[in-house]
């Protein structure tokens, strides 16, 4: 059964769980699309949409929409939630020192320079700042869970980024060996 804005909105504002469930079933996908207009990463957009749905009962109680304006109000709330997530989840990455290749001989500066150039060549192939952050953290020996926490990502998104980065590394190594 579809959410009827005229009939179900008063029940939703009153805290009716069935009305909430109908609304969420009908508009969850729409909420992800709204969040994707702010956040280009689909996993983070889904996280923003879920956060909105978790906050919806409180938002309805604290800042109820005007009569007949539930959908535009929801759109504004979703976008604000997405903007808040973007602001909160932008880690500023600073490296204490240049990462080094653990395979490089520490006593041979030529090998050290070659290893650093290889890493920079791989970093240049990476598409986004997230990919680069994941790459440098992998070089430092971080686990997927550490990367997810440090970059403000879901574990699944961090694992996907690690997989993509490893594919680019493998491609670069394969190009060098060809």
Helix (H, G, I), strand (E, B) or coil at 65: coil
Nearest to 168 by CA among 124, 102, 130: 124
Which pTM was predicted?
A: 0.49
- Model confidence at 152: pLDDT above 70: yes
* Alpha carbon 60 to its chain's center: 26
Model pLDDT, residue 32: 92
How far is residue 121 CA from its own chain's centroid? 25
pLDDT, tens digit, 9 for 90 and up, residues 1-45: 688 777 888 888 888 888 888 888 998 999 999 999 998 888 888
DSSP per-residue letters across 104-132: S-TT-HHHHHHHHHHHHHHHHH--SHHHH
CB 26 within 8 A of CB 63: no
Tokens 């890493």 label which residue? 119
User: Which of 15-19, 65-69, 120-124, 140-144 is the least confident region?
Assistant: 120-124
Beta carbons of 2 and 26 less than 8 angstroms apart:
yes
- State the Cα–Cα distance between residues 144 and 148, nearest whole angstrom: 6
For residues 45-59, average pLDDT: 90
Q: pLDDT of 66-115, one tens digit each?
A: 877 888 999 999 999 999 888 875 555 565 655 555 554 556 655 555 66
pLDDT of residue 11: 85
- In the block, tokens 């923003």 appear at 48
* pLDDT value for 178: 47
pLDDT tens string 154-176: 889 889 888 888 888 787 766 55
- Helical ranges in 63-108 per DSSP H: 70-88
Structural domains of the chain, with CATH: 5-88 (1.10.1740.10), 109-177 (1.10.10.10)
Residue 39 region by backbone torsions, left for phi larger than 0, else alpha for psi between -120 and 50, else beta: beta
Do 161 and 130 touch, CB atoms closer than 8 A?
Answer: yes
pLDDT over 80 at 118, yes or no? no
Helix (H), strand (E) at residue 48 = helix 42-62
Q: CB-side exposure of 28: number of CA atoms within 13 Å?
A: 11
């Amino acid at each position: 059964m579809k959410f009827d804005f005229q009939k179900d909105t008063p029940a939703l504002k009153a805290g009716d769980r069935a009305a909430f469930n109908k609304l969420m079933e009908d508009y969850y996908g729409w909420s992800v699309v709204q969040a994707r207009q702010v956040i280009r990463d689909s996993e983070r957009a889904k996280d923003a949409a879920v956060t909105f749905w978790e906050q919806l009962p409180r938002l309805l109680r604290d800042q109820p929409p005007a009569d007949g304006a539930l959908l535009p109000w929801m759109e504004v709330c979703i976008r604000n939630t997405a903007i808040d997530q973007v602001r909160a989840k932008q880690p500023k990455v600073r490296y204490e020192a240049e990462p080094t290749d653990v395979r490089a001989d520490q006593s041979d500066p030529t090998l050290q320079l070659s290893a650093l150039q290889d890493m920079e060549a791989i970093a240049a192939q990476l598409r986004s700042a997230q990919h680069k952050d994941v790459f440098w953290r992998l070089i430092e020996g971080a686990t997927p869970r550490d990367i997810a926490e440090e970059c403000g990502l879901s574990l699944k998104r961090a694992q996907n980024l690690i997989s993509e980065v490893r594919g680019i590394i493998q491609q670069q190594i394969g190009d060098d060996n060809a």
